Amino acid sequence: MKISILTLFPEMFGGAFDHSIIKKAQEKKILSISYVNIRDFGIGKHRIVDDTPYGGGAGMVIRVDVIANALAHATRHTPHATRRILLDPQGEKFTQKKAQELSKYDHLILICGRYEGVDERVRKFVDEEISIGDYVLTGGEIPAMVITDAVCRLLPDVIKEESPKNESFSNHTLDAKRYTLLEYSQYTRPPIFNGKKVPIILTKGDHQKIAGWRNQEALKKTKKKRPDLLQLESGKLIQKR
């Protein structure tokens, strides 16, 4: 997979992507990350990228022509399975399901807004808009890091195959029903710490019973911490529509 990030501050990404899983994915040629500096497509000798908003108001707005030219550069020789994404607080909220969907593309292009945002006409050049939460950041760089991290770890051969299947917000089947659950509780050595013991079922080696315990633990934890992922109907838990 290739991820192209359109940003005014490409230097922000060095620390986030030069370590751990993302670094290894790049070394294995599973993931390629490139940066398009929006400033390179600015207007005039001073490379102006923004201007005051029509109608007045606070702040500056990134110009549509600048973004369009940067996007055209990023899409040269791109594979067919490309997704152009504007990172914007008005967008669809980012979820694990969306990360799984995006991991199927050959090329993601992430556009990082700044200042008071981008010219409204930029939205005509993208396939979708994504927000990582109901709050406002100073720019789209941190959301781009979040999305890259979440998508990268779902790519084949990046991490152990079973890990993403059991994580929080993944789909689970219980009693012939599909649920979105939090991950079950995890334990490691020591077996006893400050009087708290590891559940004995996890130490017996019966993998079928362990799987059943983990499923029930995930359901119990979801009911307690994120009941919004579930709803009650006739006294039975069902998947939230």
Find the largest Cα–Cα distance for the chain: 71
DSSP notation for 19-85: SHHHHHHHHTTS-EEEEEEGGGG-BTTTTB-EEPPTT--SS-EE-HHHHHHHHHHHTTT--SSEEEE
Task: Supply the pLDDT for residue 160.
Answer: 78
CA distances from 20 to 23, 140, 214 (A): 6, 22, 28
Give the model's pLDDT for residue 236. 52
Per-residue confidence (pLDDT) for residue 235, from 0 to 100: 45
Question: Residue 164, by phi and psi: left (phi above 0), alpha (psi -120 to 50) or beta?
Answer: alpha
What SS3 state is found at 122? helix
Q: What does the pLDDT read at residue 170?
A: 63
Neighbours of 187 (CB within 10 A): 13
How far apart CA 72 and CA 68 sit, in angstroms, is: 6
pLDDT at residue number 78? 82
Domains of the chain: 2-152 (3.40.1280.10), 163-239 (1.10.1270.20)
Residues with pLDDT less than 50, the chain? 232-235, 239-241
